[in-house]
Structure 1
């Protein structure tokens, strides 16, 4: 498992053998059963996780209605940076949609990663930049793209999730009711 994380880190920055051993001590395995929460609303996000297996959903509870705004799958990092960075309560929720295995690192250990790994801070910056760009793209898409186009983007970004997660979560992510998603899927199938 640690090899997958190390390969991901090494795609972005170089790490020597001593640094690899330190990384292996800083991250530890954690399992979540389907339905378990990585982060509950009002809790402080204490960890960053690296997905080894499974799927997690990011959502908010908007006056009793769950609104999905993202998914994490194998080789993705999982975190609510809005809560994690300032160590403040979260409005977002992160929940396992399948049984999940993650490698997690706590806030203080991440600070050790940044200071003890030569390129640790650079790696952290690169990950945060990716999250920032993805967040802006999602926000822009929600305000400017039609539901049909948002569904097409979902298919391109998460082609392997279509059969792994319930359709009502996909509908929520696209910003429509499940019945509308059925019509979008039907139109999409006819075009193929």
Structure 2
């Protein structure tokens, strides 16, 4: 047993669902390690998302292009789980792009291996559902923040809930993630809004 992989699975299950020893071992055996340099693309638009990823070190962002502008959908850093949801669910080309914002190490649970385990282990299927449930809740919270919160409220929520993003991500990406222009973000940060 690879103890590093086991520690990663233990960190993931601590966020999702406690698993039996046997199933933690099975998931550990399915993990794959990936390492990227700053600005490397983990997933390009049009590629199929084949993994649920867990960030061990570094930071990534998920974004998409709209009329020549890239818009940040999500950030993940140490301890975060990420994937291109629709692409992973349906195994279709992704509209999202995933980029390393820093030198980054992640571990991936592959679609095929994970689904193979789910066929024989209901507990692992429940684990998978918990991961997806958490991802969907985050997506809903982001959508609700854009609909119901002011620019200042969105920034202060990010500052409270994810101070690492504010410290480490470029301001232009933070602004697009919050649904505002860089100028508006500057005014919010200066306390003018």
Residue 52 (structure 1) aligned with residue 56 (structure 2): yes
Q: In the alignment, which residue of structure 1 is the partner of 2:22? A: 18
Using the TM superposition, name which of 74-83 and 156-165 deviates more. Answer: 156-165
Q: Which runs of 5+ in 2 are unaligned?
A: none
Q: In the alignment, which residue of structure 2 is the partner of 1:111? A: 115
Structure 1 segments of 4+ aligned residues over 4 angstroms from their partners = none
Note the C-alpha offset of 1:11: 5.3
For 2:179 and 2:96, locate their aligned partners in 1 and report how far apart those are by CA, in whole Å: 17
Using the TM superposition, name which of 37-46 and 109-118 deviates more. Answer: 109-118
Structure 1 length as normaliser, TM-score? 0.90
Q: In the alignment, which residue of structure 1 is the partner of 2:144? A: 140
Residue 34 (structure 1) aligned with residue 38 (structure 2): yes
Note the C-alpha offset of 1:112: 2.4
Deviations 1:10-60 (A, max 9, x none): 554343333233222100111111111121111111111111111111111
Residue 149 (structure 1) aligned with residue 139 (structure 2): no
Q: In the alignment, which residue of structure 2 is the partner of 1:94? A: 98
Q: In the alignment, which residue of structure 1 is the partner of 2:129? A: 125
Q: Secondary structure at the match of 1:149?
A: helix
Indicate if the aligned counterparts of 1:5 and 1:75 stay in contact, CA closer than 8 A.
no
Indicate if the aligned counterparts of 2:11 and 2:79 stay in contact, CA closer than 8 A.
no
Structure 2 length as normaliser, TM-score? 0.90
Note the C-alpha offset of 1:160: 1.8
For 1:42 and 1:101, locate their aligned partners in 2 and report how far apart those are by CA, in whole Å: 23
Q: Relative to structure 1, is the Cα distance of residues 135 and 107 closer, same or farther in structure 2, using a 3 angstrom cutoff?
A: same
* Residues matched between the structures, number: 189
Q: Secondary structure at the match of 2:102?
A: coil
Indicate if the aligned counterparts of 1:43 and 1:89 stay in contact, CA closer than 8 A.
yes
Deviations 1:54-102 (A, max 9, x none): 1111111001101112101111112111111111111111111011111
Q: Secondary structure at the match of 1:89?
A: coil
Q: Which runs of 5+ in 1 are unaligned?
A: none
Deviations 1:105-146 (A, max 9, x none): 211111123234451111111111111111111112112211
Q: C-alpha root-mean-square deviation of aligned residues, in Å? A: 1.8
